[in-house]
Amino acid sequence: MKTIIVGFSRPIKPTIFSRLIRWADGTAYDHVYVKWNMSFIERNVIYQASKLAVNFETQETFDGHSITVEEYEVPLDDQIWKDIMQFAFDNSNKPYGIKEILGFGWVKLCALVGQKVNNPFPTHGASFVCSKLITEILQIAKIVDPRISPDNIDPLDLNTIIKAAGIKNKLAH
């Protein structure tokens, strides 16, 4: 049995973009990532969409610029672990979905006036924002319904889905 950790974070030095996401969603986080331990190199590895691309970094590097707010441990069988690792490496260095982020802004604005719309800039796997990337991983892990479009999931939505699945926050006391 393997595990991944789904984490929610914010930057140590918040940008306007970070502040807007947290304000719009009413959360203490604006970013979602997954991490796992690679014992053979004695490192925790963070996998995420940030800094204009899908990327890997060590826990130590991540902690130098981010504050972890919540983390959830997801157990995986060996085949699902393999499928997630294949997905991660196959999608590494794909571009960050800048237009998709603008689409999330549109979705939020429409919600303010009672309109439910889909993200007008879906990328269908050509690029990723953090929540889309982790939603696809959690679809592989059978935590997120595969009928849900990852193009429409933001960090708040993903956090809600994880909690509804009964996965406990490992940082809560």
Indicate if the pLDDT at residue 172 is higher than 80. Answer: no
pLDDT digits (tens, 9 = 90+) for 93-103: 999 999 998 89
Q: Are 155 and 133 in contact (CB under 8 A)?
A: no
Residues of the chain above pLDDT 70, percent: 99
Inter-residue contact 37 to 49 (CB < 8 Å): no
Which tens digit of pLDDT belongs to each residue from 104-156?
Answer: 889 888 988 999 999 999 888 899 999 999 999 999 999 999 999 999 899 99
CB 167 within 8 A of CB 135: no
Radius of gyration in angstroms for the set of CA atoms belonging to the chain, rounded to a whole number: 15
Nearest C-alpha neighbor of 127 from the set 103, 157, 153, 93: 93
pLDDT of residue 173: 52
